[in-house]
Amino acid sequence: MTLDQCFFALGLIVVISPAVLLAVLAVTSLLDRTISERSSAKLTEASVVVGLVAIVAILVLMLGTGRRHVPIELGNWVVIPQQHFHFHLKFVFDRLSVPFTILSFVLCGIISAFASRYLHREPGYNRFFVLFSVFLLGMVLSSLAGTIETLFFGWELVGLSSALLVAYFHERTNPVRNGQRVWSIYRISDAAFLIAALTLHHLTGAGDFDALMGTGVWPEGHVSITQSHALFVGALLLLAAMGKSALVPFSGWLPRAMEGPTPSSAIFYGALSVHLGAYLLLRVGPLLEASTLLQIAVVFVGLISAIFGTLTARVQTDIKSALAFASLTQVGIIVVEIGCGLRYLALVHIIGHACLRTLQLLRAPTLLHDYHTLENAIGGHLQRNETILARWLPTRLRAGLYATAIERGYLDGSIGDMVVRPFTRLFRWCDNLERRWTNLLSGGQSRESDDVRPHVESLEEFV
């Protein structure tokens, strides 16, 4: 077997192992042949171990042979000659994708082992692992994507599993509403991503990252499109990253996502999913460098998000929300590093922060108990040192910052007033016009649209 054949076989194992896990869990669930908790945990563990061994073997081969870029071509899966469009399935193993894939397998393995005990005898145990397998496959596809279409496919799988796990406790109202809010923000992000992908196809004739960057070696490369086109496509991809990573002004959904189980909160909003927007910006790094204005925008968004996350995390009354906004602070700093061109630093920062935040979120359910135990042991409350803000800022300014932070920057209310409610009013107006037109044609009173109004009113309550 040649070296290229070894890379090809190992690469297929990396991708197929989570796909097989999803197929087994999903098919048994659809056929109402749900397997036992132990079997689900063992299957997940086996899938993670097989994928992890394969990707580590690829890393060892790359280090031993000096290869920095290993593409795996699986051909065109969709071809539309009239539109000059083709969906090309390609995976790339390089200095960015291999570490991120290893991180995904390691953390998913840890979370699955924790969840198998944390969710023991939970009615939705099997549903959790089905969605968890969707997430694992989405992360692997996103990490190894060599084309923007493949990355979008993995991106969608991650978003779908994320929203459904936020609404995991669907017997209660708030988790479902918060899952809808997360899904709504993801729709904005996905729309920007899709427009950027179509624009790249129009400009370059393909969505291949190697063709776009002019080289297959990350992080080197120079884009083959003009500065104005780079600014337009880069702005769309930045918008997509903002929605996926909860950067300002889309940060309001991040604490809402804590409604899900602690294992999903740890793996999604502390470790992997929240960093996927930053990963996208790392992958298209040369595109950002093609426009100085775009780089400034990236740094500005990251800086604002980091400051907002720092202020908001300090006033949260529950530990999961505090950790969520602390994650936002670090993601904002990572985005600043990407905007400044410090790509290796940003990659190391992502890996370190993901591991730390996973540990903190998994410890969150028992932290309060440990805190009380410590206070009982010392016979009093722990001392708190006065912060720099408390010493230097005027009282009135501190009060204003506190009010802004406790209301989470008024982002949810602002988006509802400026975006959601105008849309609902527009659709209600269109509905009224449609009913008048159908009443005129039928000569009677139409009742088909009456069922829409309760949904519109519930949407306004949701906002």
CA gap 277, 144 in Å, rounded: 15
Tokens of 53: 């061994």
Q: Shortest CA distance to 103 belongs to which of 63, 152, 130, 142?
A: 142
Torsion over CA: 115, 120, 126, 127 (sign) = negative
Beta strands in 323-412 (DSSP E): none
pLDDT at 212: 77
| Predicted confidence (pLDDT) per residue in 393-420, tens digit | 787 887 888 888 888 888 877 777 777 6
Provide the total of helices (H) and of strands (E) in the chain, helices listed first.
20, 2
**Three-class HEC string of 303-371:** HHHHHHHHHHHCCCCCHHHHHHHHHHHHHHHHHHHHHCCCHHHHHHHHHHHHHHHHHHHHHHHHHHHHH
pLDDT at 85: 61
CA gap 370, 360 in Å, rounded: 13
- E strand or H helix at 94: strand 85-94
Please list, in sequence order, all residues whose beta carbon lies within 8 angstroms of the beta carbon of residue 16, skipping any fewer than 6 positions away: none
pLDDT reading at 451 higher than 70 = no
| Predicted confidence (pLDDT) per residue in 129-182, tens digit | 999 999 999 999 999 999 998 999 999 999 999 999 999 999 999 999 899 889
Q: Which of 32-36, 62-66, 447-451 has the highest mean pLDDT?
A: 62-66
Distances (CA, A) of 289 to 109, 169, 260, 296: 36, 44, 38, 10
Tokens of 107: 């953390």
Q: Which amino acid is at 212?
A: L
pLDDT reading at 429 higher than 80 = yes
pLDDT reading at 44 higher than 60 = yes
| Predicted confidence (pLDDT) per residue in 47-73, tens digit | 999 999 999 999 999 999 989 889 898
DSSP type of residue 314: T
Q: Shortest CA distance to 248 belongs to which of 191, 305, 297?
A: 305
* Domains of the chain by residue range: 3-368, 414-462
How many degrees, rounded to 5, is the angle at CA 292 between CA 291 and CA 293?
Answer: 90
CA gap 206, 208 in Å, rounded: 6
Q: Are 277 and 240 in contact (CB under 8 A)?
A: yes
H-only helix segments in 145-205: 148-166, 173-204
pLDDT reading at 86 higher than 60 = yes
